[in-house]
Structure 1
Amino acid sequence: MLGLNRSRAVPYEIVAIGTSAGGVKALVTVLGALPADFPVPLVIVQHLDPHHDTVLAEILDRRSPLRVKLAEPGEVAAGGVAYLAPPDRHLLVAPGGKLVLSKGDKVRFVRPSADLLFESVAEVYGPTALFCVLTGTGFDGSKGAKAAMSHGGTVVAEDPSTAEFKGMPQAVANAVAVDLMLPLKDIAGALVALTDGTRSL
């Protein structure tokens, strides 16, 4: 689905991704197809077991040209790096691209929360932010997508009909008029084209 034919006055500065069940495979597909010189940072919420450390960042780092790492509090998000929320911590972005980790209350039973990440990115980056929701169960990301749209951001969703788990992308599609709805295999190409300005909405 294509959203409004919007002309862009400003380039994108960040990509925020939310995913849950089936997300590891989806992230391998998306991050693995992005170039090492991807011009903006990516901040990612993947729902993880809160009681165990994760090696997901290392797995994704080996399978992507990008640098992929667990987010650390206080670091400033840089282009060409994907920052993954650690288990049992909300990931937020503050002004200047500063990363914040929080042990605040769970949102819709999850921590980290894509909703909180999206809301913080929308507040800081407004129309220069890209938001992407991939496979997952539940509704996480739908409230954040509303915040994204209200601040002029662009929302991309995996096509629920092709997603391994359609709950999250379908909830986002029900909540807002997404700008792009694409099969998983086409999402990385769209992110590249949008951030380098060769694709407009």
Structure 2
Amino acid sequence: MSIDSSSAPGDGCVLLAASAGGVEGLGVLLGGLQAGLAAPVLVAQHLRRGRETRIVAVLSSSTALDIKLAEDGEVARAGVVYIAPPDRHLCVRPDRKLALTEEAPVNFARPAADPLFESAAKAYGAGCVACVLTGTDGDGTRGVKAVKARNGTVIVQDPETADFHSMPRSAIRTGLVDLVLPLPEIAPAIARTVRHG
């Protein structure tokens, strides 16, 4: 049975996308989220292929939330951060189970933001809170459009506070962004949005 895309309070997900400079930015953002967050957090951080990643260990030191590499077919649980593993797109199936795919890179990246945002928008509808952080390309822009088409919320890091401006600026140029915030203010905005649906 597929899940209707209309979303009730407490029935959403948080999507984070970053590229260059993103690991540090993710650490700041996740450090501002409290344990007990009433939504799963799904992360597409551009990672290098063919090498083991230490991103889980690095980010775990920053936050009270549990962090793990996403696994194909698992159910995303509230209060857990799921990181797309190297060389796999992280997506959400209609039944809200996670999927790892080897589809072509997007904006030369795999994992990439657009497949995550687009698939999560279909599964969670208005419950999506999508955030675009620092990065050097336009990844996430197509996904922002998908999230807004289903009445989700889009938050973008203020490009002036980002190590690399291209990703946030590209998202802002869609004209569909709800909030443009300095990095330290994004976590409180996510918490408020999740809490109030």
Question: Normalization by structure 1: what TM-score?
Answer: 0.91
Q: 1:177 matched to which residue of 2?
A: 176
- Cα deviation, 1:72-109, whole Å, max 9, x if unaligned, reads 01110000000000000000011232010011111121
Q: Is the CA contact (8 Å cut-off) linking 2:145 and 2:176 kept in structure 1?
A: no
Q: Is the CA contact (8 Å cut-off) linking 1:93 and 1:120 kept in structure 2?
A: yes
Q: 5+ unaligned residues in a row in structure 2: which ranges? A: 1-6
| 1:10 corresponds to 2:8 | yes
For 1:48 and 1:125, the matched residues in 2 are separated by: 26
Segments of 4+ in structure 1 off by > 6 A? none
| 1:107 corresponds to 2:139 | no
Q: 1:4 matched to which residue of 2?
A: none
Letter in 1 for 2:81: A
For 2:121 and 2:93, the matched residues in 1 are separated by: 10
Q: Per-residue deviation at 1:152?
A: 1.1
Q: Is the CA contact (8 Å cut-off) linking 2:134 and 2:165 kept in structure 1?
A: yes
Q: 1:84 matched to which residue of 2?
A: 83
For 2:156 and 2:146, the matched residues in 1 are separated by: 15
Q: 1:19 matched to which residue of 2?
A: 18
For 2:57 and 2:27, the matched residues in 1 are separated by: 11
| Percent of aligned pairs sharing the same letter | 45
- Cα deviation, 1:29-86, whole Å, max 9, x if unaligned, reads 0111111111100000000111211010121112210001100011100000000000
Q: 1:3 matched to which residue of 2?
A: none
Q: 2:3 matched to which residue of 1?
A: none
Superposed CA RMSD: 1.5
Q: 1:60 matched to which residue of 2?
A: 59
Letter in 1 for 2:187: A
| 1:168 corresponds to 2:140 | no
- Cα deviation, 1:145-193, whole Å, max 9, x if unaligned, reads 0111111111000011211111101000012320011000100011111
SS class of match (2:51): coil
Q: 1:5 matched to which residue of 2?
A: none
For 1:143 and 1:98, the matched residues in 2 are separated by: 22
Question: Normalization by structure 2: what TM-score?
Answer: 0.93
- Cα deviation, 1:109-158, whole Å, max 9, x if unaligned, reads 11111001000001111111110000111000001101111111110000
